[in-house]
Amino acid sequence: MKAYYTPVSIALILLSCFMLAFMRYADQSFFNQASQANLAEIAAGKLAETKGNAKVKSLGKQMVADHTTAQNELVALAKKESITIPMSPDADHTQALADLNKRSGKSFDSAYMASQLADHKTAVALFSEESVNGSDPGAKAFATKYLPKLKMHLQMFQGAVKK
């Protein structure tokens, strides 16, 4: 018996394939951005540990610890799902880190705090979007798990910048 497909059923099949590909792309984008953000936070935190005042050093140490834990989990999840993720920050973060490294004293402290505030606003938005609209169960669970920690980081930097 021959199967006949109507134009509507062909269109639905194509649309389904397109949607699956788009959802996979969106989740891959989340994995990439989350990895690059974690790696940038770790690198910036290490700079803060060596160049910052006592408060900045403390915040940097916490960023290194928290984002290393998140990155290790993300790497394991990506490996489990056969997804390749970046293992270094993107060009924008790399340039920002280089600029930050050129600073010292109060200039370093204020630049670090400002960059952390901006980066955590971006990360909260990214993780919020994935936790609500992600299609990959692992990515969605990861985003949901780490979103409260990122919101806490954002509040810490908002409070520190106000002082």
What's the rounded Cα separation, in Å, for the pair 153 and 113?
Answer: 11
If one compares 104 and 159, the residue with the highest pLDDT of the two is 104
Question: Would 157 be classed as within a structural domain?
Answer: yes
Query: Residue 72 is part of which domain span?
Result: 27-162
What's the rounded Cα separation, in Å, for the pair 59 and 49?
Answer: 8
Question: Would 125 be classed as within a structural domain?
Answer: yes
Question: Would 9 be classed as within a structural domain?
Answer: no
Question: Would 22 be classed as within a structural domain?
Answer: no
> 46 vs 39, 94, 140, CA distance in Å?
11, 14, 28
Question: Would 83 be classed as within a structural domain?
Answer: yes
Domain count, the chain: 1
- Check residue 160 and give its pLDDT: 83
For residue 47, give the CATH number of its domain.
1.20.1260.10
pLDDT in tens, 31-81: 999 999 999 999 999 999 999 999 999 999 999 999 999 999 999 999 998
Contacts of 74 (CB under 8 A, 6+ apart): 31, 34, 35, 38, 85, 142
Question: Would 77 be classed as within a structural domain?
Answer: yes
pLDDT in tens, 123-159: 999 999 999 998 899 999 999 999 999 999 999 999 8
Question: Would 40 be classed as within a structural domain?
Answer: yes
Among 78, 97, 108, which Cα is nearest to 40's?
97
- DSSP codes, 110-133: HHHHHHHHHHHHHHHHHHHHHHHH
Question: Would 121 be classed as within a structural domain?
Answer: yes
